[in-house]
Amino acid sequence: MKAPYTCLWFENQALEAAEFYCSLFDNSKIISQNGFMAQFELNGQKYMTMNGGPKYKLSHAASIVVECETQAEIDQYWAKLTDGGEEGRCGWLTDKFGLSWQIIPSKLGSFFADPEKAGRVQEAFSKMNKIDIAILENC
């Protein structure tokens, strides 16, 4: 059995969105495309976009999580994905196509693991839009 993958519904920007997303991540490519849909890979993970018309919209109920090793990676993805989009809280954002993303440090869970620090981390984290690793490390 082949691995399941995500299909993203757009009104009419399927290829434009797929090309934009592929431009953000290393080892990414368009696999196939036609006037209705595009299949692509982001660093080896397969996705599909489709031009489905205006009936359905993307929502915050589903998001793509990007785990970053460094603050520079967080800053890079945040800047590119919020360009034309909208910042949210706690590492969430909505890109110019309406797709929700979470741009988080790969070690986010470890910041909450220490019971002595967890409350301070939660307080700092809940006030952030873009995640600042140094602030969480120093809680």
- Phi (first) and psi of residue 125, to 5 degrees: -60, -45
- Phi (first) and psi of residue 15, to 5 degrees: -70, -40
Supply the CATH number for residue 27's domain. Answer: 3.10.180.10
pLDDT band with cut points at 50, 70 and 90 for residue 82: very high
pLDDT of residue 56: 95
Q: Is 89 in the same domain as 51?
A: no
Q: Is 2 in the same domain as 68?
A: no
pLDDT band with cut points at 50, 70 and 90 for residue 62: very high
Give the domain extent around 66: 58-139
Q: Quote the pTM value.
A: 0.94
Can you give the three-state secondary structure of 21-72, one letter per residue?
HHHHCCCCEEEEECCCEEEEEECCEEEEEEECCCCCCCCCCCEEEEEECCHH
Q: Is 82 in the same domain as 99?
A: yes
User: 90-122: per-residue pLDDT in tens?
Assistant: 999 999 999 999 999 999 999 999 999 999 999
Is the separation of the CB atoms in 13 and 20 below 8 Å? no
* Domains in the chain, number: 2
* Average pLDDT for the chain: 97
